Amino acid sequence: MIEKVVEGKFLIDGKIIHCCVGIERGTIVDVKKSLDGETKIRFPRGLILPSAVDVHVHLRDPGLTHKEDFSTGTLSAAFGGVSCVIDMPNTKPPTVDKESCKEKISIGERKSYVDFGIYLGVNENNIKKLRDFEGLVTGFKIYLPDFDITLLGELSKLKVKRVLAFHAEEKRCIEKFGKKSENLIEHAKTRASVCEKTAVEKVLKEMEKTDFHIHFCHISSSISLYALSQFKKKVSVGVTPHHLLFKASRSLTPQSYYKVNPPLRTSLDQEALWEALLSGEIDIIESDHAPHTTDEKEVDFSEAPSGIPGVETMYPVMLYVFLMKGYPLERLVSALCSRPARLFGLKKGRIAKGMDADFIVVDLKKVKKIMADRLHYKCGWTPFEGMKGIFPTDLFVRGERIIEDEELVGDRGFGRFVKPREGEESCTEK
Ligand code: DOR
Ligand code: ZN
């Protein structure tokens, strides 16, 4: 008999169907109208959706653990319906060599509530040796604001099989516009969208002929979307909930809490992002969870660090907005779950045979007001305060219940390190 069976209303391939999902050793082995299991868990109410794969989080561990750490960050992920996160390399020390990769993986294995991957930060020292890291990391990250763009030529000579994720803001362009800004509108000007567009174009020109999988993180402007449409190379594109839901304006207060890179921009940019997300031109939603403490944010705007937390609110807020606007849930689940998993070669994000048994249960009528003190971030604040969201009541990761009836039942250290399986490298095909 099958180890475990979960029965309820599942969203599968865009349809809501009542069925049973059979699970053995954390993997989905069968999806049928009825199944018997040694353990059977029924959800007579609620809807079961795949859980999210957030490919862009800054868990700040090691070295910056006054802002967040692997436990608090992944606990927040769990409560937000995220069963897998991929952590960014700008920790202390940065994740740029074998030692720091191994250290981060071991921290994650000790502290993580959900599965996790890591990025290697690409720099001038490791750029020629990226192939040596393929077996060790989940993806590569290039932060263009600190990167000598002429090195892209070196890169294009390599053949690496992991996703190469770009933060697309061009260094020289940002320098040209000057650094100081006193409010969000000025911040958007000092890091103008043309700097994002230029970065996108330079990367694509240099990499057009490579078979790299290029991912553009958190695209924020309509002109970058236009630039992307002018190239033939297949790439993937991400957007964040904050760029979809906020524009740079005086009414966001305190202003420094909304300071982020790339910056929040105009309502026209927001419209273009929504259109591209709904059409599939934007592939995925990623939180860019980048927490800073209130003390760090409560300084003069020009001195405040950029970055806002978001891993716990991403799925709940987006689910609520999609329902309110009548947008197809299938599109949301694709952008939060199946596309990111497939892009990074992970067997997650879909309720189907062979996939990890990762899913959430939601009661679509249980709309909650977002309040920082109900979230699990170490920083204690959220830019989405007072907005509405639908939080999962239950979360399963590899068949194990991590959240039950809105309470934590999972264990710290349960999360496993993930990377693409041999032969299942990243994939940009739709
Ligand atoms: O706003 C940002 N904050 N953008 C980044 O690229 C980095 C991030 C951080 O680490 O705080
Ligand atoms: Zn980031």
Q: Tens of pLDDT along 27-49?
A: 999 999 999 999 999 999 999 99
Residue 223 lies in a domain: yes
DSSP letter at 379? S
C-alpha distances out from residue 411 to 261, 309, 362, Å? 34, 23, 21
- What percent of the chain is modeled with pLDDT above 70? 98
Q: Which residue has the higher pLDDT, 157 or 334?
A: 334
Q: Kindly give the number of the ligand 1 atom that is closest to the alpha carbon of 291.
A: 11
Q: At residue 424, does pLDDT exceed 80?
A: no
The answer to whether residue 413 is domain-embedded is no
Q: What is the CATH number of the domain that holds 174?
A: 3.20.20.140
**CA of 307 relative to ligand 1 center, distance in Å:** 5
Q: Whose CA is nearest to atom 8 of ligand 1?
A: 307
Reported as a pLDDT band with limits 50, 70 and 90, residue 322 is very high
Q: Does some domain include residue 200?
A: yes
Could you tell me how far CA 332 lies from the centroid of its own chain?
13
Ligand 1: which atom is nearest the Cα of residue 306? 1
DSSP H helices, 134-215, are: 152-156, 171-177, 184-190, 193-207
Q: What is the pLDDT of residue 425?
A: 63
CATH number for the domain including 29? 2.30.40.10
From the candidates 288, 356, 358, 394, give the one annotated as an active-site residue. 288
Residues 36 and 142 occupy one common structural domain: no
pLDDT of residue 45: 93
Backbone angles phi, psi at 400, to 5 degrees: -95, 135
Q: Ligand 1: which of 171, 220, 288, 297 to mutate, most ligand atoms within 8 Å of CB? A: 288
Mean pLDDT of the chain: 96
Task: Check whether residue 27 and residue 157 sit in a common domain.
Answer: no
Ligand 1 atom nearest 88 alpha carbon:
10
- The residue that leads in pLDDT, 406 or 212, is 406
Q: pLDDT class for 429, splitting at 50, 70, 90?
A: low
How large is the average pLDDT for residues 124-152? 94
Residue 424: inside a domain, yes or no? no
In a domain, 422, yes or no: no
Counting ligands in written order, the one closest to the CA of 57 is: 2
* Same domain (yes/no): 59, 184: yes
Q: How much is the CA Rg of the chain, to the nearest whole Å?
A: 20
Helices of type H across 178-279? 184-190, 193-207, 222-229, 241-245, 267-279
Q: Output 158 or 372, whichever has higher pLDDT.
A: 372
How confident is the model at residue 422, as a pLDDT? 65
Q: Are residues 163 and 22 both part of a single domain?
A: no
18/85 same-domain check: no
pLDDT digits (tens, 9 = 90+) for 349-378: 999 999 999 999 999 999 999 999 999 999
Q: Which residues line ligand 1 (CB under 6 A)?
A: 58, 90, 167, 260-261, 290, 306-307
Whether residue 254 is predicted with pLDDT greater than 70 in this model: the reply is yes
How many helices (H) and strands (E) would you count in the chain? 13, 18
Q: What is the C-alpha to C-alpha distance for residues 317 and 285, in angstroms, rounded to an integer?
A: 12
Same domain, 43 and 55: no
Query: What total of structural domains would you count in the chain?
Result: 2
> Which residue in 305, 168, 314, 190 sits closest to 240, CA to CA?
314
Residue 42 belongs to some domain of the structure: yes
Alpha helical stretches, state H, 281-389: 294-297, 314-325, 329-333, 339-343
* Interatomic CA distance for residues 377 and 296, integer angstroms: 15
Same domain? 78 vs 30: no
Number of the ligand closest to the Cα of 296: 1
Judged by average pLDDT, the poorest of 153-162, 259-268, 296-305, 412-421 is 153-162
- Work out the average pLDDT over 61-71: 98
Query: Could you tell me if 268 and 365 lie in one domain?
Result: no
Q: How far is the CA of 260 from the centre of ligand 2 (A)?
A: 9
Q: Are residues 241 and 372 in the same domain?
A: no
Nearest CA, atom 6, ligand 1? 261
Q: How far apart are CA 340 and CA 286, in angstroms?
A: 9
What ligand has the least distance to the C-alpha of 88? 2
Confidence of residue 403 (pLDDT cuts 50, 70, 90): very high
**Residue 16 C-alpha to ligand 1 middle, in angstroms?**
38
Q: Per-residue pLDDT for 209 more than 90?
A: no
| Nearby residues for ligand 2 (ion, Cβ within 5 Å) | 288
The domain in which residue 179 lies consists of 51-343
| Same domain as 17, residue 68 | no
Q: Note whether 371 and 268 are same-domain residues.
A: no
**Residue 332: pLDDT over 70:** yes
Phi/psi at 40 (5° precision): -125, 125
Residue 425 lies in a domain: no
Residues 83 and 28 in one domain: no
Taking 70 as the threshold, does the pLDDT of residue 426 lie above it? no
pLDDT of residue 423: 63
- To the query of whether residue 146 is one of the catalytic residues in this protein, the response is no
Confidence category of residue 153, pLDDT binned at 50, 70, 90? confident
